[in-house]
A and B are shown apart, each in its own frame.
Chain A
Amino acid sequence: MTMTFADIQKQAQEEWDALQKGKAPQIAVGTATCGRSAGAMAVVKAFEDELAQKNITAHIREVGCSGPCYAEPLVNIDKPGKPTISYKNVNPDMVTEIIDAYLLGDDPLPQYTLGSFGEGKIKGVTRFLDTPSFKPQERRVFRNCGIIDPTNITHYIANQGYEGLHKALTTMTQQDVVDEMKASGLRGRGGGGFPAGRKWEAGLAAKGTPKYVVCNADEGDPGAFMDRAVIEGDPHSVLEGMIIAGYTIGAETGYIYVRAEYPLAIRRLERAIAQAHEKGFLGKNIMGTNFNFEIKIFPGAGAFVCGESTALTLSIEGKRGMPRVAPRPRTTEIGLYDKPTLLNNVKSFSSAPMIITKGAEWFASVGTEKSTGTAIFALTGAVNNCGLIEVPMGITLREIIYDIGGGVPDGAEFKAVQTGGPSGGCLPASLLDTPIDYDSLDEAGSIMGSGGMVVMDEKTCMVDVARYFLDFTEIESCGQCVPCRLGTKQLLEILKEICKGKGRKEDLDLLYELSLAVHGGSVCGLGQTAANPVLTTLRYFKDEYEAHIFEKRCPAKVCKSLISFVIREDKCKGCGICAKSCPVSAISGEKKKVHVVDQSVCVQCGVCQEKCPAKFSAVDCVSPRVKVEAAAETETS
């Protein structure tokens, strides 16, 4: 006999409560990709070994990413009756210490902690939620990440999981779901910002069968990894959103298009799909109704343009992912296999269950009028607290970078923040008070995008950044339309010349005109936004372009053709380390005498500067280049 949803929920709740309220301590280790990269699996093993050896009963569970990647590997320890303590940058050696001091004794080792959360206070340990880094955050899409075991469906169910699906299937019509989604104001979290409710409405209204639901998890933007974190940390929330969407538009098949470079995310999804089948949330007659739904995983083969909806559906069909040409039909009408298809991003689907369970009003209770709910960013680059953050829409860039991110490291000065990846732009310090929402960012010349946010300091060259992004889009352009294929190539060529110190004064106007042409003439979003990095750097950092072109100077000392490494006579002690490490033998000098760089040989790799002992710091990087001495030239000629 199959269990009712109420029975399943009750059982899950009991299991979760036994864990939460039991006598044994709980140890939760973040083992998403970021945690693993920092060594989390060795930490898990150390806990297992040590607990077994010391004969201690405790529950170890692997959880997803809880956000503060800078503190990985992150371990949360729950002792009965105490608030949870988060230990940061844990390594296997610290495991022994933590077990001895805190699990066996009562010393929380405050020096190792990131903070505590939950009720109560532990002496010496900061309360997480009171810190500037966490206070402004609102965890909604990330509600379960870092808390539940993503490979265990009962943990998800015990935390209101599949309640939204049950509510939709048993108490709401398809139109009711559409109305709720529309009322929530949710806008497409893939970056486009199209109102999700209207898309769902169009999916429901579309004629033709079968219909499809497609989840876009082809997170290809360099600098963005939140979709991966959601899938790795809470895969069922994505499945539940897709199943609700299937019910709403009348589809029986869903696809998740996920990057093949995310092997762990794919494994988590496979497992979650199997579990959902076992519980009767996927398959035939879901939750005892006559609704059937299946979800398939499609590992993407590495093409950034497949993030574009029409290219993505063609890719699933086994074709080249080239966006459809105008007049472009809406995917909701003609999508996968030319059938009506509802395509949303991972975070949009993950938001749907909450909207159904808690209501549109709750969802819209944070954020701004036109951008409701929360935004997720991958905050990285020159910022102290790198990681994933979830904040109410409308918060300012300044609050994100300085409060949550803890500012720029090493006392360096903030220069720019890049949002929206290769389709976005670079915003300067003067725009730090811009509120984060779809429309304000658009107005500033950038985009919300899928949520990459890279902070840049004075060591970043803005011309080089523009070149970097064009390098990316030029490779990723699918090649079918001329403005994008040739336009990005030409933009890149001009930028490369400027970086090489061969820029001409007319290049500035040419870059601008060409950018507008690429923007106006390209078929799809990739081309239309490809010039944004150029346009925004031209708009806000024109002085850097001018320095490159007119003074042959790279202010950030990044562009190799415009810099020289020189050894300072007053600081060099003649230790010889630089000469030994120089890959092209450009450095000469006698022991204990000042060394010299032969500029005609030097390849500007910077190894000498890196290797020069910090107490001497005798190698300087200068721009513009020092002139190669005429005498040396005549000698060689």
Chain B
Amino acid sequence: MEDRLSEILSPYKGKRDALIPILQKVQAELGYLPDEAMLEIARVTGLPESRVFAVASFYAQFRFTPRGKHSFMVCRGTACHVRGAEKILEETERSLGIVEGETTEDKEYTLETVACIGCCALAPCVMIDEDVEAKLTPKMVSEIIDRRKAQ
């Protein structure tokens, strides 16, 4: 990981105001922000470690624990909420056997919620990696999960 990290960080030496793009890039490469990466970012940019952690923990995008292979995001936007997002989340939790914020034991899925993915007209919806599944019912959710598990 050290080599990859220094490769990612090499163009950013001393670039303090690039902190957010750096965090995004490291996370895109490593899947999350491990402690050693955070310390290395501080060293390379010359920012205090506290500042790097302060910024990373402020934004919802950044995470400090490894994730499953796929992300399963249930949208909780207003339109989804009034069209039953709560039930979609419950069914997903039941079908995956985990609750929001957790990762399945086989490390396949991490279940998260998102404030809105902007597919409000197709509510309720979920986003699996970059694909959106729209106009869902709890039944469809369990079918989608069963289908994916079978593959």
Give residues in A with beta carbon < 8 Å to B.
Answer: 33-34, 36-38, 69-70, 72, 219-225, 228, 260-263, 298-299, 301-304, 315-321, 378-382, 386-388, 418, 421, 452, 454, 456, 459-460, 465, 468-469, 472, 476, 478, 583, 605-607, 610-611
- Chain A proximity of B106: nearest CB distance (Å): 21
With A301-B61, A318-B18 known to touch, is A378 a contact of B55 (CB < 8 Å)?
no
Interface residues of B in 13-56 (CB under 8 A from A): 16-21, 23-24, 54-55
Residue from A69, A301, A421, A452 in contact with B59 in the complex, judged by beta carbons closer than 8 Å: A301
Tell me whether A452 and B78 are in contact (CB under 8 A).
Answer: yes
Number of A-B contacts (CB under 8 A): 139
Identity of the chain B residue whose Cβ is nearest the Cβ of A36 in the assembled complex: B132
Tell me whether A382 and B121 are in contact (CB under 8 A).
Answer: no
Complex contacts, B90 vs chain A, CB 8 Å: 605
With A38-B134, A70-B121, A223-B116 known to touch, is A302 a contact of B78 (CB < 8 Å)?
no
Q: B119-130 toward A: CB 8 Å interface, digit per residue (1/0)?
A: 111110100001
Tell me whether B132 and A37 are in contact (CB under 8 A).
Answer: yes
Identity of the chain A residue whose Cβ is nearest the Cβ of B133 in the assembled complex: A37
Complex contacts, B134 vs chain A, CB 8 Å: 37-38
Residue from B17, B117, B138 in contact with A317 in the complex, judged by beta carbons closer than 8 Å: B17
Identity of the chain A residue whose Cβ is nearest the Cβ of B58 in the assembled complex: A320
Interface check B81, CB cutoff 8 A:
yes
With A69-B121, A321-B58 known to touch, is A221 a contact of B116 (CB < 8 Å)?
yes
Tell me whether A319 and B55 are in contact (CB under 8 A).
Answer: yes
Q: Can you list 28 A-B pairs, Cβ within 8 angstroms, ordered by A?
A: A34-B122, A36-B132, A37-B134, A38-B122, A69-B121, A69-B122, A221-B116, A222-B78, A222-B115, A223-B116, A261-B117, A302-B60, A302-B61, A303-B58, A316-B17, A318-B18, A379-B121, A380-B78, A381-B78, A381-B79, A421-B78, A452-B78, A454-B120, A459-B82, A469-B78, A476-B115, A583-B94, A611-B139
Complex contacts, B137 vs chain A, CB 8 Å: 610
Interface check B87, CB cutoff 8 A:
yes
Complex contacts, B55 vs chain A, CB 8 Å: 318-320
Complex contacts, B20 vs chain A, CB 8 Å: 298, 301, 315, 318
Residue from B17, B76, B78, B138 in contact with A454 in the complex, judged by beta carbons closer than 8 Å: B78
Tell me whether A225 and B118 are in contact (CB under 8 A).
Answer: yes
Interface check B114, CB cutoff 8 A:
yes
Tell me whether B118 and A382 are in contact (CB under 8 A).
Answer: no
Residue from B16, B87, B121 in contact with A318 in the complex, judged by beta carbons closer than 8 Å: B16
Tell me whether B121 and A468 are in contact (CB under 8 A).
Answer: no
- Chain B proximity of A318: nearest CB distance (Å): 4
Interface residues of B in 133-150 (CB under 8 A from A): 133-134, 137-139
Interface residues of B in 73-104 (CB under 8 A from A): 76-79, 81-83, 87, 90, 94
- Chain A proximity of B139: nearest CB distance (Å): 7
Complex contacts, A260 vs chain B, CB 8 Å: 24, 61
Tell me the complex Cα distance, A380–B135, Å.
Answer: 12
Complex contacts, A263 vs chain B, CB 8 Å: 130
Tell me the complex Cα distance, A468–B86, Å.
Answer: 11
- Chain A proximity of B19: nearest CB distance (Å): 4
Identity of the chain B residue whose Cβ is nearest the Cβ of A607 in the assembled complex: B138
Tell me the complex Cα distance, A380–B77, Å.
Answer: 11
Tell me the complex Cα distance, A281–B133, Å.
Answer: 39
Residue from A33, A387, A459, A472 in contact with B115 in the complex, judged by beta carbons closer than 8 Å: A472
Residue from A228, A304, A469, A606 in contact with B118 in the complex, judged by beta carbons closer than 8 Å: A228
Identity of the chain B residue whose Cβ is nearest the Cβ of A378 in the assembled complex: B120
Tell me whether B138 and A224 are in contact (CB under 8 A).
Answer: no
With A260-B24, A319-B55 known to touch, is A456 a contact of B118 (CB < 8 Å)?
no
Complex contacts, B115 vs chain A, CB 8 Å: 220, 222, 304, 472, 476
Residue from B82, B114, B118 in contact with A381 in the complex, judged by beta carbons closer than 8 Å: B82
- Chain A proximity of B142: nearest CB distance (Å): 10
Tell me whether B58 and A380 are in contact (CB under 8 A).
Answer: no
Tell me whether A219 and B132 are in contact (CB under 8 A).
Answer: no
Tell me whether B58 and A610 are in contact (CB under 8 A).
Answer: no
Residue from A219, A299, A611 in contact with B24 in the complex, judged by beta carbons closer than 8 Å: A299
Complex contacts, A224 vs chain B, CB 8 Å: 116, 118, 120
Complex contacts, A70 vs chain B, CB 8 Å: 121
Tell me the complex Cα distance, A498–B121, Å.
Answer: 30
Tell me whether B77 and A222 are in contact (CB under 8 A).
Answer: yes
Knowing that A38-B134, A220-B116, A263-B130 touch, tell me 5 more A-B residue pairs with CB under 8 angstroms: A261-B118, A301-B61, A315-B20, A317-B17, A318-B55
Closest 3 CB pairs of A and B: A69-B121, A225-B118, A302-B60
- Chain B proximity of A92: nearest CB distance (Å): 16
- Chain A proximity of B115: nearest CB distance (Å): 5
With A318-B17, A318-B19, A382-B82 known to touch, is A222 a contact of B119 (CB < 8 Å)?
no
Most buried by A among B54, B55, B94, B130: B55
- Chain A proximity of B51: nearest CB distance (Å): 8
Tell me whether B78 and A468 are in contact (CB under 8 A).
Answer: yes
Complex contacts, B76 vs chain A, CB 8 Å: 222
Tell me the complex Cα distance, A465–B85, Å.
Answer: 13
Tell me whether B78 and A301 are in contact (CB under 8 A).
Answer: no
Complex contacts, A262 vs chain B, CB 8 Å: 118
With A222-B77, A381-B78 known to touch, is A301 a contact of B24 (CB < 8 Å)?
yes
Most buried by A among B58, B117, B132: B58
Tell me the complex Cα distance, A33–B18, Å.
Answer: 28
Tell me whether A223 and B77 are in contact (CB under 8 A).
Answer: yes
Tell me the complex Cα distance, A29–B149, Å.
Answer: 32
Complex contacts, B58 vs chain A, CB 8 Å: 303, 320-321, 478
With A301-B62, A318-B55 known to touch, is A378 a contact of B117 (CB < 8 Å)?
no
Tell me whether B78 and A605 are in contact (CB under 8 A).
Answer: no
- Chain B proximity of A218: nearest CB distance (Å): 11
Residue from A34, A72, A222, A388 in contact with B116 in the complex, judged by beta carbons closer than 8 Å: A222
Identity of the chain A residue whose Cβ is nearest the Cβ of B87 in the assembled complex: A606
Tell me the complex Cα distance, A9–B94, Å.
Answer: 58
